[in-house]
């Protein structure tokens, strides 16, 4: 009985550790990200609001915080701060992360997402 | 193998180059059978009437893929003006503007008006971004339209239907018609005989080209069901900025090029979006491609001639 309890405890601790561990993300290549960013320009640019908000300074910014862009309510209230992890989730499926998000564009490959994030982090400051 | 691959790439590149920056498509309807060819290839002695389709002019877009969307739209209009037999009218299958600003619409309509043709528009998702721009679009274009801006008209026995599938987009940006519009379509088609040629146009394709990129319409099957009894149905769309065609029974689906910038073919890029073409190569690309369309017993059949030798 004691052994069984201990095993359950070990399993629970392991599960907690797994849940807490940061997901493994691909290393980003900003050069490739810059090329991929070409495709984002149907709706975005670095310095001007377009269909979507401008991206200069997006890394580290609170989601929905530009005063001159009409975000969805959900994004404004999300509390998200854009870092590697949140951008990776967003770019995987924006409307899964924030259900009323206007954006539906996504990148299905982790490497593509990592490259675009590296570009935004390093060159869109 | 490498040689074949190169030949295929050349052909694909030629197609991509051909489709993006040219003018538009001219459609001729004779005996209820619409046929099409690229503008510039129009031949004299045609019977019936013709109309022109342009799409995705994105006025307001000014990025590396095309810093001068006004200039390429103007080029398209000039080519339309040069057609020997004046088309009866023009259709624009959406994304007239890039960000739905009134000044962009004014600019686009002034340029398009240069063709001296009546123009029938369908909105793109860049023309209706939210409730306010939807209202503005309907105020500008909605005369004679019903509900959310859908309408129909007749020309020489052909029934034209303009649908709106850019509001309330679905997963990955798939288009959506909605029950109100489908009910209207059912009613609109009810009195038409099965032999009436039907031309349906909207922005987002009404066939599933690439659902993972949103290149299709979530409830288009219901619209196509309503169209199934007709002997000749031609569906004209834009949105994907490249030529694609499919014939399914009596229905021919066709997507038009953009006058502004190209997009990648499905499966050739991680995602859709403006595609950068090397500077200086545009003119060469425009000059090298040729597509010949020929009608057969199908409602619309396209035969492409040799594109890259």
The ipTM assigned to this model is 0.79
Q: How far apart are CA A65 and CA B172, in angstroms?
A: 24
Q: How far apart are CA B126 and CA B106, in angstroms?
A: 15
Identify the top-confidence range among A7-21, A26-40, B40-54: A26-40
Looking at the complex, does the CB of residue B270 fall below 8 Å from at least one CB of chain A? yes
Give pLDDT tens digits for B80-89: 888 887 888 9
CB burial readout B145-157, b (16+ within 10 A) else e? eeebbbbbeeeee
Q: Is the pLDDT of residue B119 over 50?
A: yes
Give this prediction's pTM: 0.82
Q: Cβ separation of B271 and A105 shorter than 8 Å?
A: yes
Q: How far apart are CA A5 and CA B196, in angstroms?
A: 77
Give pLDDT tens digits for B21-74: 345 666 666 655 566 665 544 443 444 678 888 999 999 999 988 889 999 899
Q: How far apart are CA B20 and CA B75, in angstroms?
A: 13
The whole-angstrom distance between A51's CA and the closest CA on chain B is 6
| Phi, psi dihedrals of residue B195, rounded to the nearest 5° | -90, 0
Residue B115 vs residues A46, B78, B207: alpha-carbon distances, Å: 35, 7, 30
Give pLDDT tens digits for A40-83: 999 999 999 999 999 999 999 999 999 999 999 999 999 999 99
The more confident residue out of B37 and B302 is B37
What does the mean pLDDT of chain B come to?
Answer: 80
Q: Cβ separation of A104 and B269 shorter than 8 Å?
A: no
Give pLDDT tens digits for B170-223: 999 999 999 999 999 999 999 999 989 899 999 999 999 999 999 999 999 999
Of B129, B214, B264, the CB nearest to A104: B214
What does the mean pLDDT of chain A come to?
Answer: 86
> Could you tell me if residue A113 is left (phi over 0), alpha (psi between -120 and 50 degrees) or otherwise beta?
alpha
pLDDT value of residue B274: 87
Assess contact for B95 and B59: CB atoms under 8 A. no
Element (H, E) at A4: helix A2-20
């Amino acid at each position: 009985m004691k052994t069984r309890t201990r095993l359950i405890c070990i399993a629970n601790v392991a599960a907690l550790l797994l849940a807490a561990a940061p997901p493994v993300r691909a290393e980003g290549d900003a050069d490739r990200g810059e090329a991929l960013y070409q495709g984002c320009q149907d709706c975005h640019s670095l310095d001007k609001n377009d269909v979507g908000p401008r991206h200069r300074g997006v890394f580290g910014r609170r989601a929905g915080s530009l005063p001159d862009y009409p975000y969805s309510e959900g994004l404004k209230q999300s509390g998200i701060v854009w870092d590697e992890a949140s951008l990776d989730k967003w770019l995987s499926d924006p409307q899964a992360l924030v259900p009323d998000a206007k954006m539906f564009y996504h990148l299905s490959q982790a490497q593509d997402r990592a490259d675009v994030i590296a570009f935004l982090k390093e060159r869109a400051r | 193998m490498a040689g074949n691959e190169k030949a295929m790439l050349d052909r694909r590149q030629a197609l991509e180059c051909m489709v993006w920056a040219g003018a538009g498509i001219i459609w001729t309807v004779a005996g209820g059978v619409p046929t099409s060819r690229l503008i510039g290839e129009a031949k004299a002695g045609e019977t019936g009437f013709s109309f022109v389709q342009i799409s995705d002019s994105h006025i307001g877009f000014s990025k590396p893929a095309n810093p001068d969307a006004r200039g390429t739209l103007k080029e398209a209009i000039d080519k339309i003006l040069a057609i020997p037999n004046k088309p009866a009218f023009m259709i624009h299958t959406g994304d007239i503007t890039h960000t739905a600003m009134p000044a962009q619409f004014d600019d686009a309509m002034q340029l398009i008006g240069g063709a001296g043709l009546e123009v029938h528009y369908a909105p793109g998702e860049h023309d209706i971004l939210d409730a306010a721009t939807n209202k503005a679009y309907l105020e500008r274009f909605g005369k004679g339209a019903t509900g959310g801006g859908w309408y129909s008209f007749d020309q020489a026995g052909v029934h034209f239907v303009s649908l709106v599938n850019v509001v309330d987009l679905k997963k990955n940006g798939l288009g959506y018609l909605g029950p109100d519009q489908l009910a209207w379509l059912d009613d609109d088609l009810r009195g038409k005989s099965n032999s009436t040629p039907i031309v349906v146009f909207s922005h987002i394709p009404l066939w599933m080209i690439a659902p993972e990129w949103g290149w299709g319409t979530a409830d288009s099957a219901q619209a196509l069901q309503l169209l199934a009894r007709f002997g000749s149905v031609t569906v004209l769309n834009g949105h994907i900025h490249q030529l694609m065609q499919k014939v399914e029974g009596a229905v021919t689906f066709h997507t038009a090029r953009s006058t502004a910038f190209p997009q990648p073919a499905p499966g050739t890029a991680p995602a859709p979006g403006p595609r950068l073409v090397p500077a200086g190569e545009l003119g060469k690309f425009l000059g090298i491609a040729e597509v010949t369309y020929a009608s057969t017993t199908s409602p619309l059949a396209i035969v492409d001639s040799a594109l890259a030798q």
